[in-house]
Amino acid sequence: MLPLKELSEICSILNCQIIPECSLKEHTTFKIGGKCRALININSIDAVIQLTAFLKKNSIDYKVIGRGSNIIVSDKGYDGVILLIENSFADIKIDGKKVVCQSGAMLASVCLEAQKSGLSGMENLYGIPGTAGGALYMNAGAYGTEMSDVIESAEYIIDGEIYSIKKEDMNLSYRNSVFSENNGIIVSMTFRLSYGNPEEIKKAMRECMEKRSSKQPLEYPSAGSTFKRPAGSYASLLIDQCGLKGLSCGDAEVSTKHCGFVINKGNATCSDVIELCKKVKDIVRDKTGYVLELEPVILGEV
């Protein structure tokens, strides 16, 4: 049982909003999924420390989410507490060649602040829709740059204890980091960039955005690339070669614009998405021998 009264009292002292039985649909870019037991909008490091310590002590499952742009939430929802780290915990500061931000800052805002200060290195990351925390957890990347190329250090919290970590210890690899192993909640991070020309940086960022909007089905809800890039090929290429563009289950569809994306055409459920992904994986494996792996993180039981 969730000790809602006690949890609400702690949130009130911490000045954090708590929403019991919150629908997670609106907290994901896929617009899919059921409810969690409670969602808490994080506004400080102290809130993460106190709340994770309380939840751990009471054996209540919890998960952190940012913008929800790489999550597929079960139709049954998540039987635990969601700590939402985005706009209420989003400071960004420039310190010479360094950018220091709280983990709820949007990655795009971090890129923009860097650009304004003539700091180069993050141009290709502009346009990845998510928080800095989610991006570091996923080691997000685009057009040849990954978070691992620009991150210097971070602070994270596990069950009420705060730790510092340097890039070398983050085990950053393709869409993976140490945080998926230790369940650490990233609260802040430092990027180390180099000086560049603000106008050239801006131009490179604009070009990235243009490539995205011309190639990706941004007009539909999705979680971005649905499958990881398999060694030696590209998921979208394999899916296309297998003739799977436009394949659908309910309102979940393999995008005809970019077949690496599964999109929600309106009322797709998590079951639709999972069933469609299974079909795609089976056909691709049978026809090409490549085994595709889901990129988004599944939240709840599917």
Ligand X SMILES: Cc1cc2nc3c(=O)[nH]c(=O)nc-3n(C[C@H](O)[C@H](O)[C@H](O)COP(=O)(O)OP(=O)(O)OC[C@H]3O[C@@H](n4cnc5c(N)ncnc54)[C@H](O)[C@@H]3O)c2cc1C
Residues interacting with ligand X, by CB under 6 A? 29, 63-71, 85, 103, 128-131, 133-135, 137-138, 140-142, 179, 185-186, 216, 218, 222-224, 297
Tokens found for residue 243: 């003739």
Burial 199-213 (b: 16+ CB within 10 A, else e): eebeebbeebeeebe
For the bound state, the minimum distance from the C-beta of residue 256 to ligand X, rounded and expressed in Å, comes to 16
* Separation between Cα atoms, residue 261 and residue 258, nearest integer Å: 6
Question: What are the tokens at 173?
Answer: 């690899």
Q: Write down the least CB distance from residue 102 to ligand X, Å.
A: 9
Selected catalytic residue, list 120, 155, 175, 253: 175
**Type and span of the H or E element at 91:** none
The least CB distance from residue 287 to ligand X, in Å, is 26
Enumerate residues 6+ apart whose C-beta is below 8 A from 32: 25, 72, 73, 75, 221, 264, 268, 269, 270, 273
Q: Which one-letter DSSP state was computed for residue 35?
A: B
Residue 198 or 234 having the CB closest to ligand X: 234
Indicate the residue among 5 and 33 with the shorter CB distance to ligand X.
33
175 is catalytic: yes
Shortest Å, Cβ 296 to ligand X: 7
Q: For residues 29 and 269, which CB has a smaller minimum distance to ligand X in the complex?
A: 29
How many C-beta atoms surround the C-beta of residue 229 within 10 A? 17
Rank residues 233 and 288 by Cβ distance to ligand X and give the closer one.
233
Catalytic annotation, pick one of 177, 225, 236, 255: 225
Nearer to ligand X, 180 or 288 (CB): 180
Kindly report the backbone phi and psi dihedral angles of residue 23, in degrees, each rounded to the nearest multiple of 5, phi listed first: -70, 130
The two beta strands, 36-41 and 78-84, are: parallel
Distance from C-alpha of 267 to C-alpha of 270, rounded to nearest angstrom = 10
- Provide the minimum distance between the beta carbon of 63 and ligand X in the complex, in angstroms, as a whole number: 5
d(CA 48, CA 52): 6
List the catalytic residues: 175, 225, 295
